[in-house]
Amino acid sequence: MRIYATYNIKGGVGKTSAAVNLAYLASREGWKTLLWDLDPQAAATYLFRIRPRVKGGSKALVHGTRPFDAAIKGTDFANLDLLPADFTYRRMDLLLDAARKPTRQLARLLEPLARDYDVVFLDCPPSVSLVSENVLHAADTLIVPIIPTTLCTRTLDQLTGFVGSLEAHQPSILAFFSMVDRRKRLHRDIVEHLPAERTDIATAAIPAMSLIEQMAVRRAPLPVFSPRSEATRCYQKLWEEISGRHRSGGNRQG
């Protein structure tokens, strides 16, 4: 089982859009895929037309008093399941703090899912919190959307530094450019040059397009309602790059 997390301290950078589209693309290739929406805003849950409700709330999940199977929902798509978020997730930090190993609890909870799933996506809320620290411990790869600005590499270096300081498990990091506006010279320059210089930035980039915002109107992954669009091709390229690195065993950090 391979665990990916869409991760960034910053909000509104394209984490959920990426998690939903990439999870869908993985499932379409035949991988048994689970997306765990960890954000109390429950945007991924909404996009899959699933009610943001977890019986017993996050408490039952985090304390392991209710099996995951009872909370996991099927989506409209083959091979793709969702573990929804609900508003009780806002307290997840407190619940994790009460666990025996507060930063390892999510990794522990995810272990038995390897029986049923090939690929897991964790869609994280934008924050530095105990939830996000748990995600760093649980994930094999962090998929980090970054907007091409002058400071974006600084944010990425800070994250790499933090991950490097973690004991035991260190996920690999693959950033990608998100919301790229080709009308802006700075965006064009950064997107053209940086991926050649840094192995932790994907060559595939996601353009800023109102079509991607339509996911919230259509409530479906982009490749479902716009299979031949440029934006879909970009997510496909991104998924090929992410899954290709895995196959070649490449932890091409740094």
Ligand X SMILES: Nc1ncnc2c1ncn2[C@@H]1O[C@H](COP(=O)(O)OP(=O)(O)OP(=O)(O)O)[C@@H](O)[C@H]1O
Enumerate binding residues for ligand X (CB under 6 A).
Answer: 11-17, 39, 43, 126, 178-179, 206, 208-209, 212-213, 215-216
Which CB sits closer to Mg ion, 43 or 143?
Answer: 43
Residues between 13 and 42 that touch Mg ion (CB under 5 A): 15-16
Cα–Cα distances in angstroms (integers) from residue 12 to residues 56, 150, 224, 253, in the given order: 29, 18, 22, 24
* Residue 209 binds: one of Mg ion, ligand X, none (C-beta under 5 to 8 A by kind): ligand X
* Residue 50 binds: one of Mg ion, ligand X, none (C-beta under 5 to 8 A by kind): none
Angle among Cα 150, 176, 162 to the nearest 5 degrees reads 75
CB of 16 to ligand X, least distance (A): 3
What is the C-alpha separation between 7 and 188, in angstroms, rounded?
23
Look at residues 117, 18, 100, 22 and name the one whose alpha carbon lies nearest to residue 64: 100
Which CB sits closer to ligand X, 60 or 209?
Answer: 209
CB of 220 to ligand X, least distance (A): 13
DSSP state of 199: T
Which CB sits closer to Mg ion, 79 or 178?
Answer: 178
Phi-psi region of 79 (alpha: psi -120 to 50; beta: other; left: phi over 0): left
Residues between 192 and 251 that touch Mg ion (CB under 5 A): none
What is the C-alpha separation between 82 and 159, in angstroms, rounded?
27
Which CB sits closer to Mg ion, 194 or 222?
Answer: 222
Residues between 43 and 62 that touch Mg ion (CB under 5 A): 43
